[in-house]
Amino acid sequence: MKGLYGRLVGAYAILLAMLLIGLGIVLGQFFPFFYKSLEAPTSTTYTIYLIVTLVIAFILSMLIAMRMLLNYAKPIDDITVVASKIAEGEAVDWTHHPRLHYYEDDLAYAIKEIAGNIEEISAKRGIEKDRLKTLIESMGSGLLMFGRGGTVRLVNGMFRKTFGYENVEIIGQTISEVGLPHEIEKLIEDVFMTEQRIEIQICVQEATFSVSGAPVIGNHGNWLGIVVVIHDITELVHLEEVRKDFVANVSHELRTPITSIKGFAETLLSGALEDPEVSRNFLEIIHKESDRLHLVIDDLLILSGVERTGFKLNYTEVNLNHVMEEAIQLVSVALEEKHMTVDFNPSTIYKISGDSGRIIQIFVNLLSNAITYSQEDKAIRIQMENLPEEILVIIEDEGIGIEATELPRLFERFYRVDRARSRDSGGTGLGLAIVKHLVEAHEGTVEVYSKPSIGTAFYIKFPIEQ
C-alpha cells in the first residue's frame, strides 16, 4: 500500500504481531512454573489455546486499528491524491472526490482554497495568453523574439509570411539557422553585444523594411533576450518619393511660367515697350503663360479638393448620354483645329446615380487627352455598355499610344508620356490624376489599354446605384 493509511496499517500489524509473539513466548516459558504436575498433552493443548487466543487478539486489534486509522489517515491519502493532481496542473473535479466534502479539518479547507486559487490563476493566465497570442498574430509588423541562448522563442504570422516561413518551423533555431538577411543578422548580433536599442532600414528585393531590435528586460532587471520588430514601409517610402516628386514638379510647373512672365516683363520695361509689334508679341506670351499658370493652380485646387478627407459628391440621376454630348461640345474647338471627329452613337439611354459636374470633368479630361496625343484627321470612338450593376464607358483614340512600361505611372500627378507635346498643348499633367480620383469617388474604376502607334483606350465603370 502506497498511501499513508496502508503504511500505518502495515506498521501497526508488524508491531502488534511482534508484541503478541513476544507475549506468547513469555507466557509459554512461565507456564511450567505454575503447572509442574500437568502432563505433556495438557501442555500442548495449552500452547494451541494460547496461539489461537493470540491470533484472535491480533485480528480483533487489527480490525479496531484499521477502523480508527480509516477515520484519521484515509482523509490525508485522499487530500494527497488531490494535491498531486493540483501539482501536475490537472483541473480538480470535486464531484469525483465526495469523501472530501465530509472532511471538516483545516487541511481539507486549505487544499480546497489552494485548488480554487490555482484554478482561478490558471484561467486568468490562459485568458492573458490567448490575448497576447491574438495581439501578436494580429500585428501588422513581423515579430521575432530570441532567448538568452540566442534561439528563437517567439515568432508571429506576419514575420513568417514576409520572409516565407509559413511551412517552416523556426522555433528553437539559432540566428544563423533561421537564414535571415545579412543586415538583420548583424542587427541581432549587435543588440546581443551592446544590449542597446538599434534601428535600421533595409531593402529586400523590391520591398523596404524598418527593422528595430531591443533587449527584453524582466521586472527584476534580469536580461531575458531580445525582440526584433520588422515594419514593411514600402508604401511609406513610395508615398515619400511621390511627395518629393510632387513638390519638385509643382515647383517646376510654377517656376516655368513665372520665369517667362518675369523675363518678358523685364524686357518690356527695359525699352521693348516702345516697339508696338514686339511689345504685343511679348504681352501675348505673358498672357499665354499666365493662362497656363492659372490652369495649373486650378487643377491643383481641384485635385486637393478631391483628395481631401470629407470630399462629397452631389448625387443626382445623371444621363450619361447628355453629359458626354456636353463634354464633346466643350472640346469641339480643339477637335476642329485638328480636323478630328468623334464617333458617339448610343443605342439607348444610360443613367446612373452620380455628380454630373464631376462626370463632365472626367469626360472632358479624357477627350482632351485623346485630342492632345492624336495626329490630325483622326477619330475618337466612344461606346457605352450595360453591365450587371454597372455602366461601362469606353473612350478610344487613334493617337501615338503608350508603352507598356509607362502605363503603371499614367495616373500619377504631373506625369506626362510626351512632356513637350503636353506642355505645348497647355496640359498641366494633372488631368488623369483628377480623372482617377473622381472615378474612385463615384466608387467606380478606370483602366487603360494602349499600343504604341495604334492608340489608347480608357475603360471607365460607374456603378448604377450608390
Q: Locate cell 469641339: which residue?
A: 332
Question: What is the per-residue pLDDT for 446?
Answer: 92
- Say which CATH topology domain 316-463 has: Heat Shock Protein 90 (3.30.565)
Q: Are 231 and 208 in contact (CB under 8 A)?
A: no
pLDDT digits (tens, 9 = 90+) for 83-118: 777 666 666 655 555 455 555 556 667 767 777 777
Could you identify the residue written with the cell 541562448? 149
Cα–Cα distance for residue pair 270/108, rounded to 1 Å: 110
In the numeric block, the cell 531591443 is attached to 214
Helices (H) and strands (E) in the chain, counts: 14, 12
Position 322 confidence tier, pLDDT thresholds 50, 70, 90: very high
Task: Categorize the per-residue pLDDT at 61 as very low, low, confident or very high, splitting at 50, 70 and 90.
Answer: confident
Q: What is the pLDDT of residue 112?
A: 72
> HEC states along 328-353?
HHHCHHHHHHCCCEEECCCCCCCEEE
Encode pLDDT of 324-349 as tens digits: 999 999 889 889 989 999 999 988 99
Asked if the model's pLDDT at residue 41 lies above 60, the reply is no
Q: How far apart are CA 437 and CA 244, in angstroms?
A: 20
DSSP three-state, residue 450: strand
Q: Identify the pLDDT of residue 96.
A: 55
Above pLDDT 70, what percent of the chain? 84
Q: Which residues pair with 223 in a beta bridge?
A: 217
Query: Is it the case that residue 161 has pLDDT exceeding 90?
Result: no
Instruction: Tell me how far apart the alpha carbons of residues 351 and 454 are, in angstroms, rounded to a whole number.
Output: 31
Amino acid present at 224? L
pLDDT at 30: 65
Phi/psi at 164 (5° precision)? 75, 40
133-144: average pLDDT: 82
- Look at residue 401 in the predicted model and tell me its pLDDT: 87
Q: Please give the average per-residue pLDDT across 189-205, as a whole number.
A: 87
What is the average pLDDT across 271-296?
Answer: 79
Tens digits of residue pLDDT in 343-381: 999 889 999 999 888 899 899 889 988 998 888 889 999
C-alpha angle with apex 332: 415 to 261, nearest 5 degrees?
Answer: 50
Arithmetic mean of pLDDT, 282-297: 79
Q: Is the pLDDT of residue 421 over 50?
A: no
CB 454 within 8 A of CB 402: no
Tell which residue, 127, 114, 37, has the closest CA to residue 83: 114
Pairing of strands 379-387, 390-396: antiparallel
Whether 48 has a pLDDT exceeding 50, the answer reads: yes
Looking at residue 172, what DSSP letter applies?
A: T
Give the highest mean pLDDT range of 4-8, 40-44, 119-123, 228-232. 228-232
Question: How buried is residue 420: exposed, middle or buried, by Cβ count under 10 Å (0-12/13-18/19+)?
Answer: exposed
Q: For the segment 383-420, what is each residue's pLDDT rounded down to a tens digit?
A: 999 988 899 999 999 888 888 888 887 887 777 665 54
Question: Which of 195, 154, 197 lies closest to 173 in space, CA to CA?
Answer: 154
As a whole number of angstroms, the distance between CA 160 and CA 167 comes to: 8
Nearest to 47 by CA among 58, 19, 55: 55
pLDDT at 100: 53
The count of residues in the chain is 466
Which three-class secondary structure state does DSSP give residue 155? strand
| Residue 159: closest CA among 228, 208, 205 | 228
Q: What is the pTM of this model?
A: 0.52
Q: Give the Å distances, CA to CA, from 422 to 35, 158, 399.
A: 145, 45, 13
Right CATH for 139-232 from 3.30.450.20, 2.40.50.140, 1.10.10.10, 3.40.1120.10 = 3.30.450.20
Which of left, alpha, beta for 289 (phi over 0: left; psi -120 to 50: alpha)? alpha
pLDDT at 317: 92
Domain residue ranges in the chain: 4-72, 82-133, 139-232, 237-307, 316-463
Statement: 237-307 belongs to CATH 3.40.50.300: no
Angle, to 10 degrees, between the axis of helix 431-441 and the axis of helix 276-307?
Answer: 30
